[in-house]
Chain A
Amino acid sequence: MQIYLPIADLPVNVFLVLGMGLAVGYISGMFGIGGGFLMTPLLIFIGISPAVAVATVSSHIAASSFTGAISYWRKRALDIALAMMLLSAGIVGTATGVWLFTELRALDQLDLLIGLSYVTLLTIVGAMMIYESVRAIIRTRHGMPATLRRPGSHTWLHGLPFKLRFKRSKIYVSAIPVWAIGFIIGFIGAIMGIGGGFLLVPMLIYFLRVPTATVIGTSMVLTLVTMASATVMHAATNHLVDAVLALILMVGGVIGAQFGARTGQKMRGERLRLLLGLLVFAVGCRFAYELVVRPDDLYSLRYVMGG
Chain B
Amino acid sequence: MMRRLAITIASIVMACAGPAAAERLVVSLSNHRVAVTSNFVGEELVLFGTIEPDPATSPLRPPYDLVVTVTGPNQTIRTRRKERVLGIWVNVDSREFVAVPSYLAVLSNRPVSNIASQDTLRRLQVGLDNFLLPQRIGVDVADTVRDEPFRRAFVRLQTQQGLYRESGTAVTFLTPTVFRAAIPMPAAVPTGTYTIDVKLFGGGVLAARTSSALEVIKTGFEQYVADAARDYGLLYGMATAMMALVIGWFASVIFARD
Which of A's residues lie within 8 Å of B, judged by CB? 1-4, 6-7, 9-11, 59-60, 62-67, 70-71, 108-109, 111-112, 116, 227-229, 231-237, 239, 241-244, 246-247, 250-251, 254-255, 257-258, 291-292, 294-295, 297-304, 306-307
Closest partner residue, chain A, to B92 (CB atom)? A108
Q: Is the beta-carbon distance between B37 and A236 smaller than 8 angstroms?
A: no
Q: B88 within 8 Å of A by Cβ?
A: yes
- B-side contacts of A298, CB under 8 Å: 81-83, 89, 153
Q: B124 near A: Cβ within 8 Å? A: no
Per-residue contact bits, chain B 14-29, to A (CB 8 Å; 1 contact, 0 not) = 0000000000000000
> 20 A-B residue contacts at CB 8 Å?
A1-B39, A2-B39, A59-B240, A59-B243, A62-B244, A62-B248, A63-B248, A71-B252, A71-B256, A116-B88, A231-B240, A232-B238, A243-B240, A243-B243, A250-B243, A254-B251, A292-B87, A301-B157, A306-B76, A307-B73
B70 on the interface (CB 8 Å rule)?
A: no
Inter-chain CA distance A112–B188, complex, in Å, is 25
Residues of chain A within 8 A (CB-CB) of B9 are none
Asked if B174 lies at the interface with its beta carbon under 8 angstroms from chain A, I say: no
By the criterion CB–CB under 8 Å, are A235 and B229 in contact? yes
Decide if B233 is an interface residue (CB 8 Å cutoff): yes
B150 to chain A, nearest CB (A): 8
In the assembly, what is the distance between CA of A210 and CA of B236, in Å?
Answer: 37
- B78/A301 in contact, CB under 8 A: yes
Shortest 3 CB-CB distances between A and B: which pairs?
Answer: A235-B237, A66-B248, A254-B251
Q: A4-B36, A6-B222, A67-B248 are in contact. List 20 more A-B contacts (CB 8 A).
A: A3-B38, A4-B40, A6-B221, A60-B244, A66-B248, A66-B252, A70-B248, A71-B252, A116-B88, A228-B241, A235-B240, A237-B233, A254-B248, A257-B251, A258-B255, A301-B154, A301-B157, A303-B78, A306-B76, A307-B99
A304, B229: Cβ atoms closer than 8 Å? no
Residues of A within 8 A of B233 (CB): 235-237, 239
- Most A CB contacts (10 A, CB to CB) among B96, B229, B248 go to B248
* B75 contacts the other chain (CB 8 A): yes
Cβ contact within 8 Å between A6 and B218 = yes
Q: Which of B74, B223, B240, B243 has the most CB of A within 10 A?
A: B240
- Taking the complex as formed, is B13 at the interface, i.e. its CB lies under 8 A from any CB of chain A? no
Output the least CB separation between A32 and chain B (Å).
Answer: 15
B residues less than 8 Å from A60 (CB atoms): 244
Q: Which residues of B contact A242 (CB under 8 A)?
A: 229
Chain B neighbourhood of A246, CB < 8 A: 240, 243-244
Question: Does the CB pair B247–A251 fall under 8 Å?
Answer: yes
Please measure, in the bound complex, the distance between the C-alpha atom of A73 and the C-alpha atom of B117, giving whole angstroms: 77
Q: Which one, B37, B73, B229, contacts A7 given CB within 8 A? A: B229
Cβ-based interface call for B118 (8 A): no
The answer on a CB contact under 8 Å between A239 and B229 is yes
Q: Closest CB-CB distance, B114 to chain A, in whole Å?
A: 30
Are A235 and B79 within 8 A (Cβ)? no
- Is the pair A243, B236 in contact by a Cβ cutoff of 8 Å? yes
Docked complex Cα distance between A7 and B223 (Å): 10
Asked whether A236 and B243 contact (CB < 8 A) given A112-B90, A299-B81, A302-B78, the answer is no
Interchain CA distance A58-B82 in the complex, whole Å: 28
* Residues from chain B with Cβ under 8 Å of A70 in the complex: 248-249, 252
CA distance A169 to B102 in the complex (A): 57
User: With A63-B247, A64-B248, A250-B247 given, is the CB distance from A244 to B80 under 8 Å?
Assistant: no
CB distance from A60 to the nearest CB of B (A): 7
Residues of B within 8 Å of A71, CB to CB, are 252, 256
A307 touches B75 (CB 8 A): yes
Q: How would residues 224 to 243 of chain B score, 1 for a CB under 8 Å from any chain A CB and 0 otherwise?
A: 01100110011011111101
Residues of the B chain whose Cβ atoms lie less than 8 Å from the Cβ of A303: 75-78
Residues 32-59 (chain B) with a chain A CB within 8 angstroms: 36-41
Report Cα–Cα, A232/B187, bound state, in Å.
29
CB atoms of A300 and B80 under 8 A apart: yes
Contacts of A112 in B (CB 8 A): 88, 90-91
Chain A CB within 8 A of B8 CB: no
- Across-interface contacts of A3 in B (CB, < 8 A): 38-39
